[in-house]
Structure 1
Amino acid sequence: MIPVNERIEQIRINKGITKAYMARKLGMTSMGYHHLATGRSPISTDRMQIIAEALEVDPREFLRPKLNDSFSSAEEKQNTA
């Protein structure tokens, strides 16, 4: 299973959302977000909800074993076709 922080980063990158945008949404510095994204800081359920809203996904997506096809990058979709 992929750790939650890595799942969030996969979705963020696939949606083309910047780390700076995420940091602003969470009311933290870019370094603070970096610590969340790399797993150095835990992600509370409150923050997970804010992240889900910023990424426009259901927070349960962070706990699934595989990325939903709608979050896969175009390149990944081509490689599996």
Structure 2
Amino acid sequence: MNPVVKNIENLRKQKRMTMKEIADYCGKTIPWYADIAKGRRRIYLDDMLLIAEAMKEEPSIFFTNKLSVTLSSKKTA
């Protein structure tokens, strides 16, 4: 699973929010959110921003330090 989506799901569960609450806030369907959560649908930036807003969080919370370190430590050719 995409680490960002995993973080989104972990936070949603910590906040005890349902998929329906997120989907309703975003003006989408429950299957839309469920497909993102299960990795069957890509999450786009606009969707991520809406999901963060629904959770009353900054989108940066979805990105872990480990992910940032991994990306910044990649060597370019």
Task: Specify the SS of the correspondent of 2:52.
Answer: helix
- The alignment status of 1:29 with 2:29, answered yes or no, reads yes
Identity within the alignment, %: 37
Give the Cα separation in 2 of the matches to 1:14 and 1:55: 11
Q: Work out the number of aligned pairs and report it.
A: 65
Partner of 2:64: 64
User: Runs of 5+ in structure 1 lacking a partner?
Assistant: 67-81
Partner of 1:5: 5
Q: For the pair shown, which has the larger CA radius of gyration, 1 or 2?
A: 2
User: Runs of 5+ in structure 2 lacking a partner?
Assistant: 67-77
* C-alpha deviation, 1:65, in angstroms: 3.8
Give the Cα separation in 2 of the matches to 1:4 and 1:39: 11
Give the Cα separation in 1 of the matches to 2:64 and 2:58: 11
Give the Cα separation in 2 of the matches to 1:59 and 1:43: 13
* C-alpha deviation, 1:38, in angstroms: 1.1
Moved segments of 4+, more than 6 Å: none
Partner of 2:14: 14
Root mean square deviation of aligned Cα: 1.5
* C-alpha deviation, 1:56, in angstroms: 1.1
- TM-score of the superposed pair, with normalisation by structure 2: 0.76
* C-alpha deviation, 1:64, in angstroms: 1.2
